[in-house]
Amino acid sequence: MIELNLGDTVVIRAGEDWPEHLFRVAYVFDDCVGGYSLTGPLAGEYGEPDFDLVLRVHASAD
């Protein structure tokens, strides 16, 4: 599993209803992350994608 931290920008894999996009992590839960989409048609929208949707860390908050 990828280690995720608050403020990280991650790449969310494409699904049936959305393209691959960047997502800013605001919360790390037991089974998902919470935060906001930064790019694509969901930009600005809050979501809670499961960990398996996170492809990689695009930019670390450090």
Over residues 13-29, the mean pLDDT reads 96
Tens digit of each residue's pLDDT (9 = 90 or more) over 50-62: 999 999 999 998 7
Over residues 15-40, the mean pLDDT reads 96
Task: Report the candidate in 22, 41, 43 with the shortest Cα–Cα distance to residue 33.
Answer: 22
What's the pLDDT band for 19 if we cut at 50, 70, 90? very high
What is the rounded CA–CA span in Å between residue 12 and residue 22? 6
Over residues 31-56, the mean pLDDT reads 96
What is the rounded CA–CA span in Å between residue 52 and residue 44? 21
The helix or strand, by DSSP H or E, that contains position 55, with its residue range, turns out to be strand 54-59
